Amino acid sequence: MPTTPLILVRPPSPRLAEGELTHLDRVPVDPGLAREQWQGYVAAFADHGWDVVEVEEAPEHADGVFVEDALVVVDRLAVLTSPGAPSRRGEVPGVEAALRRLAADGVDLEVARISSEGHLDGGDVLEVGDVLYVGRSARTDDEGIRQLAAHVEPYGRRVVPVPVSKVLHLKSGVTALPDGTVVGYEPLVDDPGAFVPFLAVPEEHGTAVVDLGGGAVVMSADAPRTAELYRARGLDVVTVPISQFEALEGCVTCLSVRVR
């Protein structure tokens, strides 16, 4: 099996500005600028040695670019989700088709799914070591969490539900550095004590990081003080502008899914 790190991404829809909103007021979004920012985001991974696989475009799905919500990957287990917003459930078949293409190319994955009895968005799942913190949010319910636990426990993972009411998804409020430290903007975290260790960051858009490997992380360009905090911890910090996605409650984590 190839060992090059791989991510799934999905290009933004021309209808991006129509995407779902829960906690933010709607502001103008420029689809052209959004595509430029998305390309810059993708380039950050390619420049760090990642293979980038595009899920087929879905112009009819305004939120389709937030591909993380349709899939949770743990080791070789790929769990197709059941999104909490009805408008987003049609995004999953395209992601499933991308998994079939990966399997045809020799990527070893076991595919499971969250059934329609429950709801789960991938943005509510934060993996730290052998623990999966899962947010009980407006998009993820107890049955979705139960089903996810049943899928991942055979892979040695333990699911820990945590409350999420101040932001859309768990990973809108907290993510984790490569050393396992959970980071978040404390005013938007329901229970900072649920995470040990927890590091408070000074800017809302500094909460989200994606591990690029080799001591590097990618994060929003809109959190310069947080970027310096991470650099002081010895990290190579790559910043990318993603303002058009942040206007729709998105962040760097939700624009991709790490497959290996």
Is the pLDDT at 229 greater than 90? The verdict is: yes
With a CB cutoff of 8 Å and minimum separation 6, the contacts of 228 are none
Sequence spans of domains, the chain: 6-165+244-258
| pLDDT score recorded for residue 3 | 74
User: Phi then psi for 173, rounded to 5 degrees?
Assistant: -110, -35
CATH class of the structural domain 6-165+244-258: alpha beta
In the predicted model, what is the mean pLDDT of residues 154-161? Answer: 98
The tokens 């090059």 sit on which residue?
4
The answer to whether the pTM exceeds 0.75 is yes
User: Phi then psi for 122, rounded to 5 degrees?
Assistant: -60, -25
Known catalytic residues are 169, 254
Host H or E run for residue 150: helix 142-152
- 248 a known binding residue? yes
| pLDDT score recorded for residue 193 | 97
In the predicted model, what is the mean pLDDT of residues 208-231? Answer: 98
Residue 1: which pLDDT band, with cuts at 50, 70 and 90?
very low
Tokens linked to 123: 């943005």
- 69 a known binding residue? yes
- 113 a known binding residue? no
Is the pLDDT at 83 greater than 90? The verdict is: yes
Tokens linked to 173: 């409020």
